[in-house]
Amino acid sequence: MKHNHPVRGRKQERDGDGKRDSFRIARRGLIVALLIGASLTGCSAADKGASTADQKSGVAATTSANTELMKKEGADKQADGNSASPAPAAVNPSATPAAADGFDRKVIYKGNLAAEVEDYAKAQKALRELVTASGAYILQFTEDNTASEIGGTFTIKVAAGGFPSLLDGIEKISPTRQRNITGQDVTEEYVDLTSRLKAKEVVEARLLAFMEKATKSDELLAFSAELGKVQEEIERIKGRMRFLDQNVEYSTIELKLYQPKEGALLKGAGTPFGKQIGSTFTKSVDFMVMIFKGLVIFMTALIPVAAIALVIGLPIYFFLRSKSKRRIRQVEAQTPAQASDNQPLEDNAAPVQQAEQQDPEKEK
């Protein structure tokens, strides 16, 4: 028979009450956490809704503003189109597509032209007057006068705005046989140079500040050397930017004007046949005379070389010749002596042979 201990029973009751209390506390904490999470979720949803509404209203306002701006620009363009006729298609450096986008582009324009003229002197005079009137200047000029043509090459620098008008003026002087217009966009290079210049200037300012704070001589020397390199790079970048600016502001035109000499001959009666024969004979004689002169000049040029060769070669020749003669004499002197030495041997050998021949006969 089992008996329940009173102390143990009370302890079990206390343990059960503690478990129930902890369960109630955990359940209440879970409910509180769920309520807090729900409230936070509602707040964030409300904030998102408000921000979404603000964005929608902002987009709508921006869209309406852009629409009104586009309508206004369209009306302005239509008014401009009605008031002025469209310009002819031509190269205009001042009106690039980038200008419409509000972007300052850097484009270097260059033209290569070649024109045939009837009178080179008159065409050159007209070209110089046109260049002066256009505010341009001739940077370089070379003139050639060959058997086939007479002409000159002009390198002209003109402001970018006057580039198309100067091309049209050249066409009026004489229609060009060759026309090549090119444009080099250096915007990317210019932007890169600008960024590099700003970075180098920041480094320069830092180095100057470090030099002011430096107290040791070795630190000053190190900062000074590095500062010199940075300043040299800055000057190089600025020089390149100035070069690009000058070439963008002033376009280049290379023009060749030439007058063929064959055209002037075709306009006349032509060269007579007898004159052509005489000219051909004269050219042949001149060619032979030129060959003879060349030979004479060549022989004259060989005289110093031949004199030096004789001065050096004759002693060597005589020395070798005398040496060979002495060798021949020695050989000739040795030959009779050898012959006299061999003769007694032959005389002594003959009796011996005769005695040998007689001995067998005696034995028989």
Q: How confident is the model over 305-314, as pLDDT tens digits?
A: 888 888 888 8
Q: In order of start, what are the domains of the chain with their CATH numbers? A: 104-264 (3.30.70.260)
For the sheet containing 176-185, what is the strand order? 137-145, 149-159, 250-260, 107-116, 176-185
Query: What is the predicted pLDDT for the residue at 103?
Result: 55
Query: What is the predicted pLDDT for the residue at 132?
Result: 92
Query: What is the predicted pLDDT for the residue at 174?
Result: 85
Token couple for 120: 């080179």
E-assigned strand segments in the chain: 107-116, 137-145, 149-159, 176-185, 250-260
Instruction: Note the pTM of the prediction, 2 decimals.
Output: 0.44
CB atoms within 10 A of CB 91: 14
Instruction: Convert the pLDDT of each residue in 82-104 to its tens digit.
Output: 433 333 344 455 444 444 344 57
Query: What is the predicted pLDDT for the residue at 55?
Result: 41
Tokens 């060597």 belong to 316
Query: What is the predicted pLDDT for the residue at 184?
Result: 92
Q: Are 108 and 184 in contact, with CB atoms under 8 Å apart?
A: yes
Query: What is the predicted pLDDT for the residue at 254?
Result: 93
Query: What is the predicted pLDDT for the residue at 217?
Result: 87
Hey, is 215 helix, strand or coil? coil
Query: What is the predicted pLDDT for the residue at 278?
Result: 80
* Residue partners of 220: CB distance under 8 A and separation at least 6: 211, 214
State the pairing for strand pair 250-260/176-185: unpaired
Task: Measure Cα distances from 269 to 65, 261, 266 in Å.
Answer: 79, 15, 7
Spell out, as residue ranges, where the chain has pLDDT lower than 50.
1-9, 11, 32, 38-91, 94-102, 264-269, 362-364
Query: What is the predicted pLDDT for the residue at 61?
Result: 36
